[in-house]
Chain A
Amino acid sequence: GAVVSQHPSWVICKSGTSVKIECRSLDFQATTMFWYRQFPKQSLMLMATSNEGSKATYEQGVEKDKFLINHASLTLSTLTVTSAHPEDSSFYICSARDPSFETGGPADTQYFGPGTRLTVL
């Protein structure tokens, strides 16, 4: 099956620093990737949709300048948390859409990375 990796799996940083999280589709090309945030015991909240070669689409309430997304290639999207603060501590998950799952289908399956735990001190 399709595999999505994330790096790092866990990062601890000081308040005010920036952290970059990478999301890679390993065995398929993903024109669209998604970034989610998950708080303990809660569901996933979509932060933004990352489209290869174009600007990301952010959900309402998500600061564009705070969470920078770059989808520079068909297999890599990055999320940079700029000037991180303790309230940014969370579990960040990316997913990649496999457009080849079923040609002509109305929706494609998303495969998820293993997540990145961010702790800001």
Chain B
Amino acid sequence: AQTVTQSQPEMSVQEAETVTLSCTYDTSENNYYLFWYKQPPSRQMILVIRQEAYKQQNATENRFSVNFQKAAKSFSLKISDSQLGDTAMYFCAFPLINAGNMLTFGGGTRLMVKP
């Protein structure tokens, strides 16, 4: 069974600083994708970034980047120059390829950006 674990239930960071959210997963697959989703207070799930496991280069999207360590099955999200609008729940997600790509979510990390 595939599992996704986010070990940090809550985190806080000062505005303009950098924060890293961790995620580990377990799978027997070799080729897969990983996702980070953001859920702000509006509760709309927003795709932040995705990483293809077959790519060695870490994905980046503006202030968001990942540190993907395939051997360690680690997929952390780094947010640079944190902004107040980054305050949200962040979920790491892993699709089950043999189950219609349904997503398995981690428990989430609640990030608070402080002014």
Chain A residues proximal to chain B, CB less than 8 Å:
32, 34, 38, 41-44, 46, 49, 51, 57, 91, 93, 95, 97, 105-112, 114-115
Contacts and interface: CB of A to CB of B under 8 A. Distances in A.
Given A106-B32, A106-B97, A34 B47 contact: no
B45 A93 contact: yes
A107 B33 contact: yes
Contact of B107 (A43, A57, A109, A114): A43
A114 B100 contact: no
A97 B20 CA distance: 28
Given A106-B31, A107-B95, A109-B35, A51 B100 contact: yes
Given A57-B100, A106-B31, A44 B105 contact: yes
Interface in B48-76: 50, 52
Interface of B: 31-33, 35, 37, 42-47, 50, 52, 91, 95, 97, 99-108, 110
A75 to B, nearest CB: 17
A95 B102 CA distance: 10
9 contacts: A38-B43, A43-B91, A46-B104, A49-B102, A93-B43, A106-B97, A107-B97, A110-B101, A112-B37
A65 to B, nearest CB: 21
Given A43-B91, A106-B33, A107-B32, A112 B44 contact: yes
Nearest to B46: A112
Contacts of B91: 43-44
Nearest to B37: A112
B47 A43 contact: no
